[in-house]
Structure 1
């Protein structure tokens, strides 16, 4: 498949007072299946439809995404949901006001164990028995300290009675290096986005034992992030970028289009992994191993709305695990970061439905309900915490 994009789609280009203040954008991404909206936006010409030229720049790690957003080397990026929240709260690095323009997807991540560990524990309950009955502590990797992989991995472990800060060791590894780290024996398991779980399993190095959608159905995952300063100085650009990516997300809801996306993602400039491995957990139907990918890119806009309660949940977990010593203003932080104003304006232009409520209710793996209410009590209400 050629790596050059097709002819731009027909359609109006935003002009006049609504024209993008900065038409050429450097947009970062990590080699993951869920960068698909960005790849498709460029491949299908949705960026040019709205007066933009997205220049995609692959990044080696989430730390690099953070650093290049803050330095201005990137205008915006595919990012972990919790990356912007961590920066806003000054966790593990410099504090900077951030903006989350939209959600790019929900779900689509997994937890994989080495074959050696999976031979003793093929699920969370068995893993707990093994860990509590052994003097050794296995090492688990995630991708960024404040990211969704870390928080969902910790939640899954704790839901099975495993303390993620005491009973196991943890380390940070960039997503594309996960399968290799498992092969070398550097880690015993990890939580990461696809295709790096599917790749380890296809190579016989690991076994996927849980999908993150089992931890939290339709959980928030990757977002379109930038600094608040960029969004405030370039509101037309931000709206146009949201519109281009909403079109890409809507396109990805069609199964045949995901087949096309798998071929694009396999190219060396993007994910650079076997096309069949990518497709095995990108397509809506169950994979050959019986797992369902659980990834949503659009769902009539539901997967893209930047719910305040999603960001607030991340902050409750930072409090739970001792990354925050005091309760922040959970709602105020989410209102500051999640740019509902820009998202609603962009969605209205495209006729994409917008939920009435900025909160949503979910039941997680331990039976607890999270709906954005009583955040401080929720954060302190777990039996296992720091």
Structure 2
């Protein structure tokens, strides 16, 4: 650790002492829960007076309900889940939420089945022909109706000329069940995080057609989140939690050996419960797509990158709201910037990062170019949402949200 024990104890003993010491932390069985697992098990939380009790959840809907009810204090969460709860389009009632920090960027994939592979549907062009020439709709799975994987899947399909709501069926499947559903033939493809994409390839059940970093290099992914009430009642605890997880994130990326040891840790029964051989390669950036192609991905999953990953950029949160608007999950434009300011805990993050000597970006907005050539910088979110050709069809979008 870069922070000395005496420095950490000064926080614990002084006026910055955590209001709550034992925290119940939710997570899903995904490689990108790594910062929480490392923080909880490798000595990063204890110097801040925290004990992190990790609670693996069976689905994102289950995690959402426990987070909102207070059964979980904080969680490894989908950006799209947090904003949907904030806006009242997921769950029973709108609840004020808080994004404390980003946990990772990149590292998700879209996989297709072995049946499609055997039918030579192995390129975007072949998939487009299959979708538009067959009377039978393909079924694609994502992990939560407003979640990141739904938005990546929809965005990628639309960029290939495939309407994700009209041309194919979309169903919700928890991450760890994706491979079993693919094997049983209940779905034709999925978008999910690792290690489940690599696991499907490893078992010969299909192939990786696209990575999400090909959709948006260094895109926002999972976040450390809680309710805003938790932050307001426990500001010192929230800051200490961010500091512990920031240190864990930095540790994972210090060298390749730390990534390898993290893969081994994650493989344990209480975490991902899957062989490290399915976790480690893509955690190191080494990809095999199941079609004979191998490459080192320069935009593979990353957890820190000098703090660039962890900054809760306003523009990151706003982007998900533009996609809700695009697909009819929101019928009106929200006040994008105001909502993002409410959710993203910029001041708290800056305090934690500064205390650790981690640079805080000068702007809470960042600019990115996506697969369809569009530039997203957060400057005109309503205009950006209206710029999509499919936006006029948003009334056909399903309003169903998993409960």
| TM-score normalized with structure 1 length | 0.96
Indicate yes or no: 2:81 matched with 1:80.
no
Indicate yes or no: 2:50 matched with 1:49.
no
8 A contact 1:123–1:210 mirrored in 2:
no
Structure-2 residue corresponding to 1:34:
32
Question: Equivalences for 1:289-368 in 2 at 5 Å?
Answer: 289-291=293-295, 292=297, 294-368=300-374
SS at match of 1:35: helix
Structure-1 residue corresponding to 2:263:
262
Q: Which 5+ residue runs of structure 1 have no aligned equivalent?
A: 1-8
Residues in 2 aligned to 1:252 and 1:77: alpha-carbon distance in whole angstroms: 19
Structure-2 residue corresponding to 1:212:
212
Residues in 2 aligned to 1:171 and 1:284: alpha-carbon distance in whole angstroms: 29
Runs of 4+ deviating beyond 3 Å: 284-289
8 A contact 2:286–2:294 mirrored in 1:
no
Structure-2 residue corresponding to 1:150:
150
SS at match of 1:17: coil
Question: Equivalences for 1:74-113 in 2 at 5 Å?
Answer: 74-93=72-91, 94-113=93-112
8 A contact 2:81–2:90 mirrored in 1:
no
Q: 1:28-72 CA distances to partner (integer Å, 9 max, x unpaired)?
A: 000000000011112211000211000101000100110001111
Q: 1:148-192 CA distances to partner (integer Å, 9 max, x unpaired)?
A: 100010000000000001000000010000000000011000000
SS at match of 1:300: helix
8 A contact 1:124–1:160 mirrored in 2:
yes
Q: 1:193-219 CA distances to partner (integer Å, 9 max, x unpaired)?
A: 000000011001121110000001011
SS at match of 1:269: coil
8 A contact 1:316–1:376 mirrored in 2:
yes
Residues in 2 aligned to 1:75 and 1:290: alpha-carbon distance in whole angstroms: 41
Q: 1:352-386 CA distances to partner (integer Å, 9 max, x unpaired)?
A: 00111110000000000000011111101111232
Residues in 2 aligned to 1:124 and 1:76: alpha-carbon distance in whole angstroms: 38
Residues in 2 aligned to 1:191 and 1:348: alpha-carbon distance in whole angstroms: 36
Shift of 1:115: 1.1
8 A contact 1:77–1:224 mirrored in 2:
yes
SS at match of 1:136: coil
Indicate yes or no: 2:181 matched with 1:175.
no
8 A contact 1:179–1:200 mirrored in 2:
yes
Residues in 2 aligned to 1:275 and 1:60: alpha-carbon distance in whole angstroms: 21
Residues in 2 aligned to 1:284 and 1:115: alpha-carbon distance in whole angstroms: 24
Indicate yes or no: 2:61 matched with 1:63.
yes
Structure 1 residues 220-229 or 125-134, which shifts more?
A: 125-134
Residues in 2 aligned to 1:290 and 1:110: alpha-carbon distance in whole angstroms: 15
Indicate yes or no: 2:255 matched with 1:281.
no
SS at match of 2:209: strand
Residues in 2 aligned to 1:16 and 1:271: alpha-carbon distance in whole angstroms: 37
8 A contact 1:76–1:226 mirrored in 2:
yes
Structure 1 residues 174-183 or 281-290, which shifts more?
A: 281-290
Shift of 1:287: 5.0
Structure-1 residue corresponding to 2:237:
237
SS at match of 1:352: coil
Shift of 1:107: 0.6
Q: 1:334-355 CA distances to partner (integer Å, 9 max, x unpaired)?
A: 1000000110000010010011
8 A contact 1:161–1:384 mirrored in 2:
no
SS at match of 1:166: coil
Shift of 1:126: 2.0
8 A contact 1:139–1:188 mirrored in 2:
yes
Residues in 2 aligned to 1:284 and 1:180: alpha-carbon distance in whole angstroms: 25
Shift of 1:129: 1.6
8 A contact 2:106–2:212 mirrored in 1:
yes
Shift of 1:118: 2.9
SS at match of 2:45: helix
Residues in 2 aligned to 1:352 and 1:69: alpha-carbon distance in whole angstroms: 28
Structure-2 residue corresponding to 1:4:
none
